[in-house]
Each structure stands twice: as C-alpha cells, then as structure tokens.
Structure 1
C-alpha cells in the first residue's frame, strides 16, 4: 500500500503524514519504503491512532498565534516562542503563523509525553543499517517533486506533467550521485550514467556512434534515468567572456531538441551541478530542467550520525574496533557530537576521510601495543580532523558560498533552517582583511560587475 492510499483510506492528507514523521523524528525505514510503500507496522499504528492523527492534521492546517499554541498544549508562551523563532515558519501580518506549524510537534520538542508513538515502533533501526542518515526534509522535498511519477492521477486530474529534467546541485562531495540514485529508486527507473565519451563521437564495434545515437537508443528503452555529471560545466551559457567547446554546445542542442520527448518515452535526465550560476537559461525553462533539488553538506546532527555510521559500518559484533569503540563509549552518538561541531561545512567525503584516518590511527596503536583497552584520545581525533580538513580549501569554501547564493535564490522557503545554519558555519571561515576590502567570498555575478 502506498502512503497516498493509506491517507485516502483514513481521510488524512498525505502531507500531514509526512510532517508527522518529521515532527516526531521517526526513522523513515520504520514507516515507509523509498518508493513510498507503507510499512505494515506504520499502517497498523495509523489505524489504531486515527483519532490522534486527525487532531494532528486539523491542528496542522490551522493558522494560530504563539499564545493560541501555548494555550492548546499547556506550555509556557516564552518556551513556545523560542521554538517558533528557531523553526522560522511563515507568519501573516496579524501575527498568526500559517498552517504547517504543528502545536503537537512544538509540544514534543518541549518534553510533551508522546511515548505511545515511540513505544509502538520498538527499537530504532541501527545507524549502520539505515539507507541514509538524516535528510528527511530533502527526501520529502524530492518525493513531492516526483509526485507525478508516484500518482498516476496527477496528469489526468490536475494536468501536472512528470518532470523531464532535474538538476541536483550542491558543493563537491555532498552526495549528488547518491541522490540521483535515490530518485531512480523512488520512481523505479533504471539508473544509467552518461559517460563523458558518450558526448562526442566514439567507435563501437568499429562503427562510429554519436551522442545523438546514444539518446535515440535510450529512448527505445522504458523507465531509464540518465545522469549527466558536471552539468554546469558542460551546459554553460555561451557569452563574450566564456567560450564553450563545440562538442558541449552540440550536446546541449541535442538535449534541448529531445527533452520534450522524454516524458512520453519514459526517460528522466538528471544533471549534477556544483552551481546553477553558469547553466544556459534555456535549459532551465519550464518543461525542461525546471526542477531544482539542492544537496546540502550535512548539519551538525547528521555529521555526528554519519561519523558513528562510518565508524561501525560493516563491522562484526566481535570486531576489535567495535570493542574499542564500546570501551570509549564511542558506539553512541554523544561521543561524536563534540568533534562534529568542529566540522563546519564539511562534505560527506570529508567525514569519510576523518573516519578512515581515525580507524588507521586506532589500528596502529593496537599493532604497536597488541593490547586492549585503547583510549581514543583527543590528540588522535585532532590529527584525523587535520587529515580530513585537507579538502577544506578556499576553492571548496567558495563553492559552498556560491551554493548558498543559489539555494537562497531558488529554494529558500523550502530549506530556511538548513540555509541559515550553513551560512552561520561558513561565516566561521571568513577572514576580515583590510577594512577597504569586502568580507567573505565573491559571487560570480559580483566578479562580472
């Protein structure tokens, strides 16, 4: 059963279920599958607790003030105001907060008793076994963009077409290919990467084949997602200052020619880009690559979860490293929170670099002493942090800055908290130079001017 079918059965909007999962920080793998099939336990929970879920949905759709929220959940007004300020929801001129603000979600953050929810699902899924960590907001944002693929009635009832092209954009190492794969999984499409040599003319079985031939061949197959990396470099806008390779210009023209056929031929093209700034605006027009999905570096909570995940991934229960982690209480999240605070704006790959470096240091100590227990010292962590920081170059930070510019322009309302948190972390690296010079990085548009 799809989530939309359960929502229809219980007469509760699908969006309410999605917000409920986010508000109560439920593990996605215990509620729904990647392509939105409902898990049996979650469906049973929903049917048994339909009264609460209806109250939750009704409250979610009401516009309300801080005072009304506080009265409804019997919590101090100043505490409610603190949560509201942190979440930064939309507000009307009369001071009432727009729907999508949950009184129950705020009450949960303030310590309200919702054990009946958490007790129902039992032990949470270990981090090492999860499909992905955190990023619920990104996952649900993507699922809404893909709704025409998941709901056959979108076109017949509402005239909403399936996207023909999607751009996933974000700094290097943030997981764009991972999310492209996840999109293919959500809509049950075969994932195929467009290799660079496909864009020119190549020899296959002693016969010349072109990018045009490749696209025609792909359109003969059903349900294929085509990933094109370095989309912002290959699909650049030609101007007086920047020249474009003739093969890239030809590839762009072919994509513009065929993209109108993609929906009918059950093809979805996904471009992975570091930035949106230089992409030819023709490609971003409606019906082309008009769905933009930002891919963020992980926030502080996600960093700590990822560190634990990568430290314990693939380990046997009796592994030496697992014993060392347990002796240091490093098999639990609190151990990793402190170091994650010093990983401001780190990419996913930098976190992996840190864990690999730390594992090697722990192993070296063991090989030297051949004894347990081993203490994971602050010195070891600091050294591994320096190793991981090698990729934290000025170029990378400029790319994060450009990403913030892009996402603030295109998706600010969707990811206000993430954007503001990342901006605060980036400010840590900005150096005050001579007073006459501007503080921070220069955007592409500013460089031009």
Structure 2
C-alpha cells in the first residue's frame, strides 16, 4: 500500500505522516520503501493509533506561539524556545508559528513519554541494510517535487505536470549520482548516464553519430532518466567576458529544442552541478530545468553513521577487522562521534577516504605485531583524518561557500536548519589573525608586575 492510499483511507494528510516520521526520528527503512510503499510495522502503528495521529495533525495545522506550545505540553517556556530556535521554523508577522511546528514533536525532544510509538519499531535495520543514511529532510523534499510521478492526482486534479528537467547541485563528492539513482527508483525510470563522448559528433562501431541522434533514440525508449554530469559547465551562460565551447553550446541548443517533448515521451533529464549561479537562465525557465535539488555535505550525525557503515561494510562477524573494532567498541556509533565532530564540511568521498586510510593503518599494525590487541586511539584516528583532509582544499571550501550562496537564494525555506549548521562548519576554517606583540620596551610598571 502506498503512503498516499493509507493517508486517504485514514483521512490523515501525507504531509502530516511525513512530519511525524521526522519529529519522532523514525528510520525511513522501518516506515517506507523508496517508492513510498508503507512497511507493515508502520501501517500497523497508524491503524492502531489513528486517534493520536489525528490529534498530531490537528496540532500541526494550528498556528501557535511559544507560550501556547509550552502550556499545551506542560513544558518550560525557555526550553520550548530553545528547541524552536534550533529548528528555525517559519513564523508569521504576528509571532505565531506556522504548521511546520508540532507541539508533540517538541515534547518528544524534551523527554516526553512516547514509548508507545517506538514499541512498533523495535527491530532496527542494520546500517548496511538501510537504503541510505540520514537525509530524511532531503528525501521528503525530493518526494514532494516528484509527486506527479508517485501518483497521478496532481495532474488529474490540479493540472500539475511532471518535471522534465531536474538539477542536483552541491559541492563535489556529496553524492549527486547517488541521489540521481534515488530519483530513478522513486519514478520507476531506468537510469542512463550520458557519457562525455555522446556530446558533439563521434563514431561508434564505425558509424557516425551525434548527441542529437542519441537524444532522439532515448526519447523512443520507455521511461528513461538521463543523468548528465558537469551540467553547470555545459549549460554555462555565454557573456562578453566569458565564452563557452561550441560543443557545449550545441548540446544546450539540442536540449532546448527537444525539452518540450520530454514529458510525453517519458524522458526525465537530471543534471549534476557544483553551482547553479552561472547556468543559462533559458535552461532554468519554467517547464525546463526548474526543479533545483540541493545536495548537502553530511551533517555531524550522518558522518558518524557513514563512518560506521563504511568501516564495517562487507565484513563478516569473525573477520579480523571486526574483532578489532569490537574490542575498541568501535562497532557502535558513539565511538565515532568525537572524530566526526572534527570533519567539518567533509564530503561523502572524504569520509570514505578516512575509513580506507584507517583500515590500511590497522592492517599494517596487525601485520607488524600479529596481534588483534590494537588500540584505536586518537593518534591513529587523527592520522587517518589528515589523510582524508587532503581533498579539503581552498578550492573545495570556496565551492562549499558558493553552494551556501546558491542554496540560500533557491532553497532557504526548505532547509534552514541544514544551511545554518553548514555555515557554522564552514566558519571553522576562517583564519583568525593572531595579535602581534607591541613593538618597544615594556613599561616600568609592567616590569615590576613581572617581577
């Protein structure tokens, strides 16, 4: 059963269900599949707790002040204000919070007893079996943008058409290809990557072919998702100060020529860009590539989970590395929190580099001493961290800064919490000038104090 079908049957909005999953920090893998099929445990919970879910939705729909929330959940006003300040929700001019704020969600964060919710989700999915780690906010945002693919109601009831062009933008190494594959899963389209040699004219098996031929062929196929890397370079806006290659300009013109037929031909094009700032405005026009999805570097908690995932991936329970991890309690999330806090603005690939470096160092130590009694201490962790930091260049930090400018313009209201957290992490790398000592001799009084 799809989430939309369950929501319609129980007369509870899908938006309310989605916010509930986020407020109560439920694992997506325990609630929904990628294409929004409801898991058995979640369906059982919803049916047996329909009265609570209706109360949750009613509260969510009400505009309320901090005082209203504090009185409703019997919690101190100061603590409620602190939670809301961290969440950065939307607020009306009169100071009342919009329906993005749930009194129940705040109460849960302040220690309210909602064990009856978690009793339905006792079997935690292991990290290796989860579709992805964290990023629930991004997943649900993406699903809203892809609603016409998930069910036909937006088209039949509202005339809202399926997007034909999507741009995934963010710093290098943050998983844009991963999310393009997720879009293919959600929409049920086949994932095809557009190779660089498809652009312009080339020879394949002795036959002359062009990007125009390639695109026409793909439009004939059933439900195809075309993924294009370097989208911001190919679709760059030409100006008097900046020229673009003739091959890229030709590719752009071909896409603009055919894009009006993409929907009827069941073709979806997804572009990967480091920045959307310099993309030709014609490309971003309504009905073209007008869906912009920001792909953030992982936050601190997501980094913890990613480290554990990649350090334990493909390991059997009796493997040498697993034995070493267990002896250090490094097979559990809390072990990695301290080192994760030092990985400000790290990309996914940097985290993988860290785990690979650490594995190699542990293996070398084992080969040297032939013993599993290896302590994973701060010296070892910091050495692997230095190796992974090789990609943390000035150019990369500039790309993160540009991403923050882009996402603040295009998607701030959708991801205020992530944006502010990422800003703080980037600020960690700003150089602070060290005060210079004064020139000249010390004053006599100062000399007396020293003595």
CA distance in 2, matches of 1:412, 1:263: 28
After the TM superposition, which residues 403-414 of structure 1 pair with which residues of structure 2 at under 5 Å, given as runs?
403-414=403-414
CA distance in 1, matches of 2:176, 2:301: 20
Aligned to 1:387: 387
Aligned to 1:440: none
CA distance in 2, matches of 1:129, 1:190: 22
CA distance in 2, matches of 1:117, 1:314: 32
Aligned to 2:140: 140
Aligned to 1:446: none
After the TM superposition, which residues 43-58 of structure 1 pair with which residues of structure 2 at under 5 Å, given as runs?
43-58=43-58
| Deviation of 1:433 (Å) | 6.2
CA distance in 2, matches of 1:120, 1:91: 33
CA distance in 2, matches of 1:409, 1:95: 24
| Deviation of 1:204 (Å) | 2.3
| Cα deviations by residue, 1:200-254 (Å, 9 ceiling, x for unpaired) | 1111232211100001000000111000100001111111111111111000000
SS of the aligned residue for 1:356 comes to helix
| Cα deviations by residue, 1:162-182 (Å, 9 ceiling, x for unpaired) | 001000000000000000000
CA distance in 2, matches of 1:275, 1:294: 10
Aligned to 1:276: 276
* TM-score relative to the length of structure 1: 0.96
Q: Report which stretch shifted further, 317-326 or 254-263.
A: 317-326
Aligned to 1:287: 287
Aligned to 1:22: 22
Aligned to 1:62: 62
CA distance in 1, matches of 2:166, 2:58: 34
The answer to whether 1:131 aligns with 2:131 is yes
CA distance in 2, matches of 1:104, 1:326: 37
Q: Report which stretch shifted further, 15-24 or 364-373.
A: 364-373
Say if 1:434 and 1:233 are closer, same or farther in 2 by CA, change over 3 A.
farther
Aligned to 1:331: 331
| Cα deviations by residue, 1:245-272 (Å, 9 ceiling, x for unpaired) | 1111000000001111000000000000
Aligned to 1:6: 6
CA distance in 2, matches of 1:376, 1:300: 20
The answer to whether 1:118 aligns with 2:130 is no
Aligned to 2:360: 360
Query: Displaced runs of 4+ in structure 1, greater than 3 A?
Result: 432-435
| Deviation of 1:363 (Å) | 1.0
| Deviation of 1:93 (Å) | 2.2
CA distance in 2, matches of 1:241, 1:430: 30
| Deviation of 1:64 (Å) | 0.7
After the TM superposition, which residues 110-189 of structure 1 pair with which residues of structure 2 at under 5 Å, given as runs?
110-189=110-189
| Deviation of 1:95 (Å) | 1.7
CA distance in 2, matches of 1:264, 1:420: 40
| Deviation of 1:373 (Å) | 1.8
Equivalenced residue count is: 435
Aligned to 2:320: 320
- What are the ranges of 5 or more consecutive residues in structure 2 without an aligned counterpart? 436-451
CA distance in 2, matches of 1:433, 1:394: 18
The answer to whether 1:102 aligns with 2:102 is yes
CA distance in 2, matches of 1:146, 1:39: 20
| Deviation of 1:94 (Å) | 2.0
Aligned to 2:343: 343
SS of the aligned residue for 1:166 comes to strand
| Cα deviations by residue, 1:31-59 (Å, 9 ceiling, x for unpaired) | 11000011122111100110111111111
SS of the aligned residue for 1:34 comes to coil
| Deviation of 1:415 (Å) | 0.4
- Give the superposed CA RMSD: 1.1
Say if 1:372 and 1:434 are closer, same or farther in 2 by CA, change over 3 A.
closer
Aligned to 2:444: none
CA distance in 2, matches of 1:158, 1:18: 21
| Deviation of 1:434 (Å) | 11
Aligned to 1:443: none
CA distance in 2, matches of 1:242, 1:91: 42
SS of the aligned residue for 1:281 comes to coil
| Deviation of 1:193 (Å) | 0.4
CA distance in 2, matches of 1:112, 1:280: 50
SS of the aligned residue for 1:100 comes to coil
Q: Report which stretch shifted further, 79-88 or 90-99.
A: 90-99
